[in-house]
Structure 1
Amino acid sequence: MKNKNMKIAMLAGIITYISACNSVKQEPQAAAVDKEQIKKEIQAKEDEYAATYNSGELKDIGYYADDATTFYQNRTPLVGKEAIIEFLRSDLVNNSNKIKFKTNEVFVSNDGKQIVEIGYFQVVDSSNTAINSGNYMSLFEKRGDKYVCVRDMSASDITFQ
Protein backbone atom coordinates (compact mmCIF):
# COMPACT_ATOMS: atom_id res chain seq x y z
CA MET A 1 0.00 0.00 0.00
CA LYS A 2 2.84 2.39 0.91
CA ASN A 3 4.51 1.62 -2.38
CA LYS A 4 1.31 2.35 -4.31
CA ASN A 5 0.78 5.69 -2.51
CA MET A 6 4.41 6.59 -3.13
CA LYS A 7 4.04 5.89 -6.88
CA ILE A 8 0.85 7.97 -7.06
CA ALA A 9 2.52 10.86 -5.23
CA MET A 10 5.56 10.73 -7.54
CA LEU A 11 3.35 10.54 -10.63
CA ALA A 12 1.30 13.52 -9.40
CA GLY A 13 4.52 15.46 -8.74
CA ILE A 14 5.90 14.71 -12.21
CA ILE A 15 2.61 15.71 -13.90
CA THR A 16 2.50 18.94 -11.87
CA TYR A 17 6.12 19.71 -12.77
CA ILE A 18 5.57 19.06 -16.49
CA SER A 19 2.37 21.08 -16.66
CA ALA A 20 4.01 23.97 -14.80
CA CYS A 21 6.91 23.99 -17.25
CA ASN A 22 4.61 23.91 -20.25
CA SER A 23 2.22 26.64 -19.18
CA VAL A 24 2.61 29.83 -21.19
CA LYS A 25 1.85 33.09 -19.53
CA GLN A 26 -0.34 35.30 -21.67
CA GLU A 27 1.07 38.78 -22.00
CA PRO A 28 -1.54 41.50 -22.10
CA GLN A 29 -2.04 42.59 -25.70
CA ALA A 30 -1.96 46.27 -26.58
CA ALA A 31 -4.98 47.55 -28.44
CA ALA A 32 -4.55 47.51 -32.20
CA VAL A 33 -3.13 50.80 -33.49
CA ASP A 34 -4.88 52.30 -36.52
CA LYS A 35 -1.88 53.69 -38.41
CA GLU A 36 -3.98 55.31 -41.17
CA GLN A 37 -6.18 57.11 -38.64
CA ILE A 38 -3.10 58.37 -36.80
CA LYS A 39 -1.59 59.56 -40.10
CA LYS A 40 -4.79 61.56 -40.76
CA GLU A 41 -4.66 63.00 -37.25
CA ILE A 42 -1.04 64.09 -37.68
CA GLN A 43 -1.79 65.61 -41.12
CA ALA A 44 -4.64 67.56 -39.52
CA LYS A 45 -2.18 68.91 -36.92
CA GLU A 46 0.20 69.94 -39.74
CA ASP A 47 -2.65 71.63 -41.64
CA GLU A 48 -3.68 73.54 -38.51
CA TYR A 49 -0.06 74.58 -37.89
CA ALA A 50 0.29 75.84 -41.49
CA ALA A 51 -3.06 77.69 -41.39
CA THR A 52 -2.09 79.40 -38.14
CA TYR A 53 1.35 80.41 -39.46
CA ASN A 54 -0.08 81.52 -42.81
CA SER A 55 -2.70 83.69 -41.08
CA GLY A 56 0.12 85.75 -39.57
CA GLU A 57 -1.42 85.47 -36.11
CA LEU A 58 0.33 82.89 -34.03
CA LYS A 59 -1.67 81.40 -31.22
CA ASP A 60 -1.28 78.28 -29.17
CA ILE A 61 -2.80 75.46 -31.21
CA GLY A 62 -1.38 72.68 -29.09
CA TYR A 63 1.15 71.60 -31.71
CA TYR A 64 4.30 71.80 -29.60
CA ALA A 65 4.76 70.36 -26.12
CA ASP A 66 5.99 72.81 -23.48
CA ASP A 67 9.33 70.96 -23.43
CA ALA A 68 9.68 70.68 -27.23
CA THR A 69 12.94 71.23 -29.07
CA THR A 70 13.04 72.15 -32.73
CA PHE A 71 16.04 72.12 -35.02
CA TYR A 72 15.52 74.80 -37.67
CA GLN A 73 17.96 75.10 -40.51
CA ASN A 74 21.05 77.22 -40.02
CA ARG A 75 20.47 78.09 -36.35
CA THR A 76 20.93 76.71 -32.88
CA PRO A 77 18.14 74.50 -31.50
CA LEU A 78 15.11 76.25 -30.08
CA VAL A 79 14.24 74.78 -26.69
CA GLY A 80 10.76 75.12 -25.23
CA LYS A 81 7.44 76.05 -26.79
CA GLU A 82 7.82 79.72 -25.83
CA ALA A 83 11.18 80.02 -27.61
CA ILE A 84 9.75 78.33 -30.71
CA ILE A 85 6.70 80.61 -30.82
CA GLU A 86 8.87 83.71 -30.29
CA PHE A 87 11.08 82.67 -33.22
CA LEU A 88 8.03 82.13 -35.45
CA ARG A 89 6.58 85.53 -34.47
CA SER A 90 9.86 87.27 -35.34
CA ASP A 91 9.97 85.36 -38.62
CA LEU A 92 6.48 86.58 -39.56
CA VAL A 93 7.45 90.23 -39.01
CA ASN A 94 9.88 90.04 -41.93
CA ASN A 95 7.89 88.07 -44.48
CA SER A 96 4.52 87.10 -45.86
CA ASN A 97 5.55 83.61 -46.88
CA LYS A 98 3.11 80.73 -46.79
CA ILE A 99 3.97 77.17 -45.81
CA LYS A 100 2.33 73.81 -46.33
CA PHE A 101 3.11 70.34 -45.03
CA LYS A 102 2.40 66.86 -46.31
CA THR A 103 2.66 63.85 -44.03
CA ASN A 104 4.27 61.09 -46.10
CA GLU A 105 4.79 58.37 -43.50
CA VAL A 106 4.17 57.71 -39.85
CA PHE A 107 5.93 55.16 -37.72
CA VAL A 108 3.81 54.34 -34.69
CA SER A 109 5.02 52.67 -31.49
CA ASN A 110 3.24 49.45 -30.55
CA ASP A 111 1.29 51.19 -27.81
CA GLY A 112 0.45 54.18 -30.04
CA LYS A 113 2.02 56.67 -27.63
CA GLN A 114 4.86 57.82 -29.89
CA ILE A 115 4.86 58.65 -33.57
CA VAL A 116 7.69 59.57 -35.90
CA GLU A 117 6.35 61.53 -38.85
CA ILE A 118 8.26 61.99 -42.10
CA GLY A 119 6.91 64.68 -44.36
CA TYR A 120 7.48 67.26 -47.04
CA PHE A 121 7.23 71.05 -46.73
CA GLN A 122 7.07 73.89 -49.21
CA VAL A 123 7.35 77.64 -48.64
CA VAL A 124 6.07 80.11 -51.22
CA ASP A 125 6.43 83.89 -51.31
CA SER A 126 3.65 86.45 -51.83
CA SER A 127 3.70 85.82 -55.61
CA ASN A 128 3.22 82.08 -54.93
CA THR A 129 6.76 81.28 -56.12
CA ALA A 130 8.44 78.41 -54.28
CA ILE A 131 11.36 79.75 -52.27
CA ASN A 132 12.11 76.71 -50.13
CA SER A 133 11.08 73.08 -49.88
CA GLY A 134 12.39 69.94 -48.32
CA ASN A 135 11.70 67.20 -45.86
CA TYR A 136 11.16 67.04 -42.13
CA MET A 137 10.90 64.56 -39.29
CA SER A 138 8.81 65.11 -36.18
CA LEU A 139 8.46 63.06 -33.02
CA PHE A 140 5.05 63.20 -31.38
CA GLU A 141 4.07 61.87 -27.97
CA LYS A 142 0.57 61.24 -26.78
CA ARG A 143 0.04 63.33 -23.67
CA GLY A 144 -3.39 63.04 -22.22
CA ASP A 145 -5.70 62.47 -25.16
CA LYS A 146 -3.75 64.30 -27.87
CA TYR A 147 -0.45 64.13 -29.70
CA VAL A 148 2.07 66.94 -29.28
CA CYS A 149 5.34 67.49 -31.08
CA VAL A 150 8.36 67.06 -28.79
CA ARG A 151 11.15 67.16 -31.42
CA ASP A 152 11.32 68.19 -35.04
CA MET A 153 13.85 69.06 -37.67
CA SER A 154 13.90 69.84 -41.36
CA ALA A 155 16.28 69.79 -44.29
CA SER A 156 15.93 71.96 -47.37
CA ASP A 157 16.27 70.42 -50.79
CA ILE A 158 17.10 73.81 -52.36
CA THR A 159 20.64 73.89 -53.70
CA PHE A 160 22.38 77.19 -53.06
CA GLN A 161 25.12 78.21 -55.46
Structure 2
Amino acid sequence: MRQKIGLFGFLLGMALTFVGCAPAEKKETVDMEKITSEIQAMEDAYSAGEKAKDADAVVAYYSDDAISYSRNRKPIVGKASIREYIANNIAKDTTENYSVYKIVDLFVEGDSAVEIGSWTDFDASGKQVENGNYMSYFQKRDGKYVCIRDMSTTTAAVKSGM
Protein backbone atom coordinates (compact mmCIF):
# COMPACT_ATOMS: atom_id res chain seq x y z
CA MET A 1 0.00 0.00 0.00
CA ARG A 2 2.87 2.31 0.87
CA GLN A 3 4.37 1.82 -2.60
CA LYS A 4 1.06 2.75 -4.24
CA ILE A 5 0.75 5.93 -2.17
CA GLY A 6 4.39 6.77 -2.91
CA LEU A 7 3.90 6.14 -6.65
CA PHE A 8 0.71 8.21 -6.64
CA GLY A 9 2.53 11.05 -4.84
CA PHE A 10 5.39 10.87 -7.34
CA LEU A 11 3.01 10.94 -10.33
CA LEU A 12 1.01 13.80 -8.83
CA GLY A 13 4.20 15.76 -8.22
CA MET A 14 5.36 15.20 -11.80
CA ALA A 15 1.98 16.24 -13.19
CA LEU A 16 2.06 19.45 -11.15
CA THR A 17 5.63 20.13 -12.30
CA PHE A 18 4.66 19.75 -15.96
CA VAL A 19 1.57 21.91 -15.54
CA GLY A 20 3.61 24.58 -13.74
CA CYS A 21 6.27 24.54 -16.46
CA ALA A 22 3.83 24.62 -19.37
CA PRO A 23 4.01 27.89 -21.30
CA ALA A 24 1.24 30.28 -20.34
CA GLU A 25 -1.37 31.08 -22.94
CA LYS A 26 -0.34 34.30 -24.63
CA LYS A 27 -2.95 37.02 -24.34
CA GLU A 28 -3.10 39.49 -27.16
CA THR A 29 -1.95 42.92 -26.04
CA VAL A 30 -4.58 45.55 -26.73
CA ASP A 31 -3.39 49.05 -27.63
CA MET A 32 -6.22 50.92 -25.91
CA GLU A 33 -4.81 54.33 -26.84
CA LYS A 34 -4.81 53.43 -30.54
CA ILE A 35 -8.31 51.92 -30.44
CA THR A 36 -9.67 54.85 -28.43
CA SER A 37 -8.21 57.27 -31.00
CA GLU A 38 -9.71 55.25 -33.85
CA ILE A 39 -13.18 55.12 -32.29
CA GLN A 40 -13.09 58.82 -31.31
CA ALA A 41 -12.09 59.68 -34.90
CA MET A 42 -15.19 57.79 -36.06
CA GLU A 43 -17.33 59.80 -33.63
CA ASP A 44 -15.76 63.05 -34.86
CA ALA A 45 -16.39 62.07 -38.50
CA TYR A 46 -20.02 61.24 -37.65
CA SER A 47 -20.41 64.67 -36.05
CA ALA A 48 -18.72 66.43 -39.00
CA GLY A 49 -21.01 64.57 -41.42
CA GLU A 50 -24.07 65.70 -39.49
CA LYS A 51 -22.85 69.29 -39.39
CA ALA A 52 -22.11 69.23 -43.15
CA LYS A 53 -25.54 67.63 -43.76
CA ASP A 54 -23.83 64.73 -45.52
CA ALA A 55 -25.79 61.51 -44.88
CA ASP A 56 -23.15 59.38 -46.62
CA ALA A 57 -20.42 60.68 -44.29
CA VAL A 58 -22.59 59.93 -41.26
CA VAL A 59 -23.59 56.43 -42.36
CA ALA A 60 -19.94 55.47 -43.04
CA TYR A 61 -19.92 54.76 -39.29
CA TYR A 62 -22.17 51.72 -39.73
CA SER A 63 -21.82 48.17 -41.06
CA ASP A 64 -24.25 46.98 -43.74
CA ASP A 65 -26.05 44.84 -41.12
CA ALA A 66 -26.20 47.53 -38.42
CA ILE A 67 -29.22 48.14 -36.23
CA SER A 68 -29.74 51.54 -34.62
CA TYR A 69 -31.90 51.92 -31.52
CA SER A 70 -32.81 55.43 -30.42
CA ARG A 71 -35.26 57.57 -28.55
CA ASN A 72 -38.94 57.42 -29.40
CA ARG A 73 -38.71 55.21 -32.48
CA LYS A 74 -38.52 51.60 -33.58
CA PRO A 75 -35.09 50.12 -34.35
CA ILE A 76 -33.74 50.95 -37.80
CA VAL A 77 -32.37 47.84 -39.49
CA GLY A 78 -29.62 47.95 -42.11
CA LYS A 79 -27.22 50.62 -43.33
CA ALA A 80 -29.52 51.63 -46.23
CA SER A 81 -32.45 52.26 -43.84
CA ILE A 82 -30.22 54.12 -41.40
CA ARG A 83 -28.97 56.30 -44.27
CA GLU A 84 -32.54 57.04 -45.37
CA TYR A 85 -33.49 58.03 -41.81
CA ILE A 86 -30.45 60.30 -41.47
CA ALA A 87 -31.01 61.88 -44.89
CA ASN A 88 -34.67 62.62 -43.99
CA ASN A 89 -33.63 64.24 -40.71
CA ILE A 90 -30.98 66.32 -42.45
CA ALA A 91 -33.49 67.48 -45.08
CA LYS A 92 -35.95 68.60 -42.38
CA ASP A 93 -33.37 70.28 -40.14
CA THR A 94 -33.46 74.06 -40.12
CA THR A 95 -31.95 74.57 -36.65
CA GLU A 96 -28.23 74.66 -37.54
CA ASN A 97 -27.66 72.65 -34.34
CA TYR A 98 -24.72 70.30 -34.21
CA SER A 99 -23.64 67.41 -31.98
CA VAL A 100 -20.39 66.49 -30.29
CA TYR A 101 -19.70 62.87 -29.29
CA LYS A 102 -17.16 61.85 -26.63
CA ILE A 103 -16.00 58.45 -25.43
CA VAL A 104 -16.68 57.94 -21.72
CA ASP A 105 -15.69 54.27 -21.49
CA LEU A 106 -14.34 51.75 -23.97
CA PHE A 107 -14.17 47.97 -23.57
CA VAL A 108 -12.21 45.89 -26.08
CA GLU A 109 -11.86 42.15 -26.51
CA GLY A 110 -10.55 40.53 -29.65
CA ASP A 111 -12.14 42.20 -32.68
CA SER A 112 -15.04 43.68 -30.69
CA ALA A 113 -15.35 46.97 -28.84
CA VAL A 114 -18.15 48.50 -26.80
CA GLU A 115 -18.18 52.25 -26.37
CA ILE A 116 -20.20 54.16 -23.81
CA GLY A 117 -20.27 57.81 -24.74
CA SER A 118 -21.90 61.14 -24.17
CA TRP A 119 -23.37 63.48 -26.76
CA THR A 120 -24.12 67.16 -26.54
CA ASP A 121 -26.19 69.21 -28.98
CA PHE A 122 -25.26 72.86 -29.48
CA ASP A 123 -27.08 75.62 -31.33
CA ALA A 124 -25.39 77.73 -34.01
CA SER A 125 -24.06 80.14 -31.36
CA GLY A 126 -22.42 77.26 -29.44
CA LYS A 127 -24.94 77.19 -26.60
CA GLN A 128 -25.75 73.72 -25.27
CA VAL A 129 -29.36 72.76 -26.01
CA GLU A 130 -29.53 69.05 -25.11
CA ASN A 131 -27.34 66.16 -24.06
CA GLY A 132 -27.46 62.44 -23.44
CA ASN A 133 -25.61 59.16 -23.60
CA TYR A 134 -25.09 56.41 -26.13
CA MET A 135 -23.66 52.95 -26.45
CA SER A 136 -22.11 51.58 -29.64
CA TYR A 137 -20.96 48.04 -30.34
CA PHE A 138 -18.19 47.75 -32.94
CA GLN A 139 -16.61 44.84 -34.78
CA LYS A 140 -13.36 45.03 -36.67
CA ARG A 141 -14.07 44.08 -40.28
CA ASP A 142 -11.58 44.31 -43.12
CA GLY A 143 -9.08 45.95 -40.77
CA LYS A 144 -11.29 48.73 -39.40
CA TYR A 145 -14.00 49.10 -36.82
CA VAL A 146 -17.62 49.56 -37.88
CA CYS A 147 -20.65 50.06 -35.70
CA ILE A 148 -23.03 47.12 -35.81
CA ARG A 149 -25.38 48.27 -33.00
CA ASP A 150 -25.98 51.59 -31.35
CA MET A 151 -28.43 53.02 -28.88
CA SER A 152 -28.88 56.51 -27.47
CA THR A 153 -30.78 58.24 -24.70
CA THR A 154 -31.41 61.82 -23.70
CA THR A 155 -31.20 63.48 -20.32
CA ALA A 156 -34.09 65.80 -21.27
CA ALA A 157 -37.16 65.49 -19.11
CA VAL A 158 -39.90 63.24 -20.43
CA LYS A 159 -42.96 65.22 -21.50
CA SER A 160 -46.06 64.34 -19.51
CA GLY A 161 -48.70 62.28 -21.29
CA MET A 162 -46.13 60.10 -23.06
For residue 4 of structure 1, what is the aligned residue in structure 2?
none
Q: Unpaired runs of 5+ in structure 1?
A: 1-10
For residue 4 of structure 2, what is the aligned residue in structure 1?
none
1:115 and 1:139 in contact (8 A); partners too: yes
Residues 1-161 of structure 1: pairs in structure 2 closer than 5 A = 19-20=14-15, 22-24=17-19, 25-26=22-23, 28-60=25-57, 62-95=60-93, 96-109=96-109, 111=110, 113-161=111-159
Identity %: 37
Q: CA deviation at 1:130?
A: 3.1
For residue 3 of structure 1, what is the aligned residue in structure 2?
none
Q: How many angstroms apart in 2 are the aligned matches of 1:59 and 1:33?
A: 31
Q: How many angstroms apart in 2 are the aligned matches of 1:151 and 1:79?
A: 10
Task: Name the aligned partner's letter for residue 55 of structure 2.
Answer: L
1:70 and 1:79 in contact (8 A); partners too: yes
Please identify the structure whose Cα radius of gyration is greater: 1
Higher relative contact order (CA 8 A, sep 6+): 1
Q: CA deviation at 1:20?
A: 5.0
What TM-score does the superposition give when structure 1 sets the normalisation length?
0.80
- Secondary structure at the counterpart of residue 38 of structure 2: helix
Task: Name the aligned partner's letter for residue 138 of structure 2.
Answer: F
1:39 and 1:105 in contact (8 A); partners too: no
After alignment, is 136-145 or 56-65 more displaced?
A: 56-65
- 1:23-67 per-residue CA deviation (whole Å, 9 max, x = no partner) reads 234354132101122111110000001101110122156310110
Q: How many angstroms apart in 2 are the aligned matches of 1:121 and 1:21?
A: 53
- Secondary structure at the counterpart of residue 59 of structure 1: helix
What TM-score does the superposition give when structure 2 sets the normalisation length?
0.80
Task: Name the aligned partner's letter for residue 97 of structure 1.
Answer: N
Aligned residue pairs: how many? 150
Task: Name the aligned partner's letter for residue 34 of structure 1.
Answer: D
Task: Name the aligned partner's letter for residue 154 of structure 1.
Answer: S
Q: Unpaired runs of 5+ in structure 2?
A: 1-6
Aligned CA-pair RMSD:
2.5
Q: CA deviation at 1:100?
A: 1.2
